[in-house]
A and B are shown apart, each in its own frame.
Chain A
Amino acid sequence: MRIADKGKLSITGAIIGIAAVVLTVLGNPGNMGFCIACFLRDTAGAMHLHTAPIVEYVRPEIIGIIIGAFAFSLLGGDFRPRGGSSPVLRFIIGFIVMIGALVFLGCPLRMVLRLGGGDLNALVGLLGFIAGIGVGCIFLSNGFTLGKAERQSRLEGVALPASTVLLFILFLAVPSLFLFSESGPGSMHAPVAAALLAGLIVGAAAERTRLCMAGGIRDIFLLRDFTLITGFIAIFALTLIGNIIAGSFNLGFADQPVSHPMHIWNFLGMFAVGLGSVMLGGCPLRQLILAAEGSSDSAAAVGGMIVGAAFAHNFSLASSANVGPGINGKVALIAGIIVLLAIAAIATAKERRNA
């Protein structure tokens, strides 16, 4: 059964890797076939939550991932509405994860896609991500938990997928409601049908296999289990091959698409994402999948990420391509890491007192 799980994860990773390269060829920004952080940020901009003119677009990939995972969770009997496990803390952690991702310029999934495109800045990010997960695992092993999730109504579970469908209908029927970038990454996108289809397939496959960028590394640290990491490795391998075939492989630190070479901030940005993801129980992609399966806790984390993205651009926290973060971004990221460590330490101490 374990080999079967690894096989399914390898296939899912391969599908994501191929879909990512195809979406890039069809118009998405470089090494950005998928990026949960960037695409939530673009969608927040399209909805007027921020007004950074170069990152505004309703990304159909996000809508597809949620609907694909929702549909397959219904078919597979995995749709189980539940919640009540510290939703406000999860919102705050999701917010900080987004700040970290936008200082690095990508979620863990885009980090792997960047690695497959030859962007060595993502290797620095990966080291930070592993370090953040390592620290998170120390807290988990010593008692960290955000509390039990309880059963919720089906209405509660359906609310997020239904809102996503409504957003997509409005995007198609009344596009004048939204802001759309005329230049920059937000203006670069694959055709809507291709992006939606890719999202649906990835959402469905990730739901069936529990694919998670953070979970793979966490399971190696905590359980010496290498099942989940196979998805991560397959995405890297297929993206690498795809980029070489497409002629878009470029090894180095300089002049990488939507990237910057400030090593310390790439490391710390992904450190925050790694630590926050372990505290939430999954990376940003996994939060979307869990929210689609009916977790209102993960929906709170996704809400935190959307609001975090809006703050990141309204208060100049996000990095600029080739330049890195400004002083606001550096201060916000350090403060965010301190808040994550404080939440983890307090929750861990409370659980140990109760044990």
Chain B
Amino acid sequence: MDAEDLKVATFHSHYGAIMFRKRIGDGQLRPVPRSLSSSCGTAVFFSSPFDSSMADENTEAVYVKDGDGWRRIWKA
């Protein structure tokens, strides 16, 4: 995965993460980075371009890698 394009999507449920990855056909399920949330849910790390049609009601937010941190590019 190219670090420049690395994105992470967070969800309201584990199933939301599974379905998102299935829809976009890309990505890995991993724990939500601690720097993004104190919750311990499942996130999808992916590199394909994001547009809002990829999200559904279970999608919480999408972030893109920005230096050492993450920059939010979409929120429900």
Contacts and interface: CB of A to CB of B under 8 A. Distances in A.
B52 interface: no
Interface of A: 1, 5, 73, 76, 78, 80, 140-145, 147-149, 207, 209-210, 212, 215, 219, 222-223, 225, 227-228, 281-282, 286, 293, 351, 355
A-B pairs, top 3 by smallest CB distance, nearest first, are A145-B13, A78-B38, A143-B15
A283 B16 CA distance: 22
A293 B15 contact: no
A210 B40 contact: yes
B38 A210 contact: yes
Contacts of B40: 210, 212, 215, 219, 228, 281-282, 286
A147 B13 CA distance: 8
B15 A144 contact: yes
Contacts of B16: 145
Given A73-B38, A212-B40, A228-B40, A223 B15 contact: no
Given A141-B18, A355-B19, A210 B34 contact: yes
B34 A223 contact: no
A50 B16 CA distance: 41
Contact of B31 (A76, A141, A223, A355): A223
A223 B38 contact: no
Nearest to A146: B13
Contact of B34 (A5, A140, A145, A148): A5
Contacts of A76: 38
Contacts of A5: 34
Contact of A141 (B14, B30, B34, B38): B14
B29 interface: yes
A145 B15 contact: yes
Contacts of B34: 5, 209-210
Interface residues of B, number: 19
A222 B14 contact: yes
Most buried by B among A223, A351, A355: A223
A282 B41 CA distance: 10
A148 B15 CA distance: 12
A79 to B, nearest CB: 9
A5 B38 CA distance: 13
Nearest to B33: A1
B12 interface: yes
A225 B30 contact: yes
B42 interface: yes
A281 B13 CA distance: 10
Interface string B24-36: 0000011101110
A228 B31 contact: yes
Nearest to B43: A223
A207 B34 CA distance: 11
Given A141-B14, A210-B39, 10 more contacts: A76-B38, A141-B18, A144-B13, A145-B13, A145-B16, A210-B40, A222-B29, A223-B29, A228-B31, A351-B13
Contacts of B31: 219, 223, 225, 227-228
A293 B14 contact: no
B13 to A, nearest CB: 4
A282 B16 CA distance: 18
Given A223-B31, A227-B31, A207 B38 contact: yes
A223 B30 contact: yes
Contacts of A215: 40
Contacts of B29: 222-223
B31 to A, nearest CB: 6
B40 to A, nearest CB: 5
Contacts of A281: 39-41
A284 to B, nearest CB: 15
